[in-house]
A = this chain, B = another copy of it.
Amino acid sequence: MSSIIGNKLKISLFGESHGEAAGIVIDGLPPGIELNLEYIDEHMKRRAPGQSVLSTPRREEDKYSIVSGYFQGKTTGTPLCALIYNENINSKDYNEIKSKIRPGHGDYTGFIKYKGFNDFRGGGHFSGRLTAPLTFAGAIAMQILQSKKIYIVSRIKSIKDISDDDGINLHENEINRLTKMNFPVLSSDKLKLMQEKISEAKENNNSVGGVIETYIVNVPAGYGGPFFDSVESKLSHMIFSIPAVKGIEFGAGFDITKLTGNNANDEFIITNNKITTTTNNNGGILGGITNGMPIVFRTAIKPTSSIGISQHTVDLHEMKETEINVAGRHDPCIVPRVIPAINGAAALVILDLILERDGELWI
């Protein structure tokens, strides 16, 4: 697996935060797909830094360059490689971390795994920057799924202790509305409160996290499998690849453990000659396989690890304890920028599951 994932649709991720480029090879795209570059740009822009006063002032356009697998405006069916060259890099901000490991980051574990040879600048290969090519690939997957009326939408369910209202309505209009919001929250009151929490953290040189709720709508019943091909297995594998994720739950998730069986089970009914369920505590997945209901999952995003507050740590070279203050341009809350990565990552999984079962005859 390594930095490669997928069965029929494979992606191979590469790059470092402060190296020459981050990029991705997408292998297994159907041929003849006319890429909607504007649509892709929209997703890239949502993920890019510097979009709001609440995010890092590091402003990058995240312009991608497609170097293969794309001919006369369409996918060729051969591997598509895209690069995002790194610009606006200020390496000297990171000089300190060469030896001081930043709490919450992969500095220490990367040092051990790569025996000190990994590019430590800005987190190197561990950087959230790698979600840019992932978002690029995910946007292509989303475009293909949408042509089959499969939509993916996320909202911010909570920031710190502020939660959005219950009850998302999944009409195409609302999906589109949320998709276009940089800070997608249903309740405008809660949205304001959440942003206040972030501003407060920013002022304090601190950070906050939150929970993202994602819906995948119109996946027909029958995709996935029991055991290692379960939709939960595939989605969780992919979602935990995104930096800062510490939990995932499907349907009612951890709360389902507080129900009794008769309330937890989703009863079956027939609606318009189609089998559906009255509730969706299982999040659209039964026995690891889609049941036609929306796939619903929530992802826990930890507070940004880089903070402007002094913290206890270790200097690896001198092997002694010290203090670190992670100066630099960081987001007080990464949650809004993670959304396009989660949507795209989920799209890659779903498209892979569909292509794997139905093959290219599906397109």
Contact flag A108-B14 (CB < 8 Å), given A1-B229, A117-B74, A227-B3:
no
Is A278 part of the binding interface, using a Cβ–Cβ cutoff of 8 Å? Answer: yes
Q: Is A109 within 8 A of B264, CB to CB?
A: no
Q: A68-B16, A114-B76 are in contact. Are A5 and B240 (CB under 8 A)?
A: no
Question: How far does the Cβ of A95 sit from chain B's closest Cβ, in whole Å?
Answer: 14
Residue of B at shortest CB range from A284? B109
A77 partner residues in chain B, CB cutoff 8 A: 113-115, 117-118
Known: A118-B71, A241-B228. A106 touches B287 (CB 8 A): yes
Would A28 and B7 count as touching, CB distance under 8 A?
Answer: no
Asked if B79 and A314 make an inter-chain contact with CB atoms under 8 angstroms apart, the answer reads no
Contacts of A5 in B (CB 8 A): 227-228
For A328, the chain B residues whose CB sits under 8 A away are none
Interface string of A227-262 (1 = CB under 8 A from B): 111101110111011010111111111101111111
> Residues of B contacting A283 with CB < 8 Å?
246
| Distance of A110 from chain B, by nearest CB (Å) | 6
Give the CA-CA distance A227 to B234 in the complex, in Å: 14
Assembled-state Cα–Cα distance A107/B108 (Å):
45
Q: What B residues does A192 contact at CB under 8 A?
A: none
A81-B23 in contact (CB<8A): yes
Interface residues of A in 20-36 (CB under 8 A from B): 20-23, 25, 27-28, 31-32
Whether a CB of chain B sits under 8 angstroms from the CB of A358 is yes
B residues in contact with A210, CB < 8 Å: 257
Assuming A115-B31, A209-B264, A300-B256, is B286 touching A14 (CB within 8 A)? no
Interface of A is mostly: mixed
Tell whether A138 is near chain B: CB-to-CB under 8 Å: no
Asked whether A261 and B229 contact (CB < 8 A) given A109-B290, A312-B268, the answer is no
Contact of A209 among B113, B123, B211, B257 (CB under 8 A): B257
Report if A226 contacts B (CB, 8 A): yes
Residues of B within 8 A of A253 (CB): 246-247, 300
> A93 to chain B: closest CB distance in Å?
17
A79-B14, A209-B256, A248-B248 in contact; A71/B119 too (CB < 8 A)? yes
A216 in the interface (beta carbon within 8 A):
no
Evaluate whether A103 and B358 lie within 8 angstroms (CB atoms) in the complex, with A78-B14, A118-B71, A237-B228 already known: no
How does the 8 Å CB contact mask read for A290-328 relative to B, with 1 for contact and 0 for none? 110000001011111111010111100001110000000
State whether A160 and B78 are in contact (beta carbons under 8 Å apart), knowing that A1-B228, A71-B118, A222-B112 are contacts in the complex: no
A288, B2: Cα distance in complex, Å: 11
Write out the residue numbers on chain B whose beta carbons fall within 8 Å of the beta carbon of A2: 10, 27-28, 79, 225, 227-229
B8, A356: Cβ atoms under 8 Å?
yes
A266 to chain B, nearest CB (A): 6
The 5 A-B pairs with the shortest beta carbon distances in the complex, nearest first, are: A106-B287, A359-B359, A247-B249, A207-B261, A109-B289
Question: 20 A–B contact pairs at CB < 8 A?
Answer: A3-B78, A4-B12, A14-B68, A15-B68, A20-B66, A20-B68, A23-B67, A31-B114, A32-B116, A78-B226, A79-B125, A106-B226, A107-B287, A113-B223, A247-B247, A247-B249, A249-B254, A249-B300, A357-B360, A358-B359
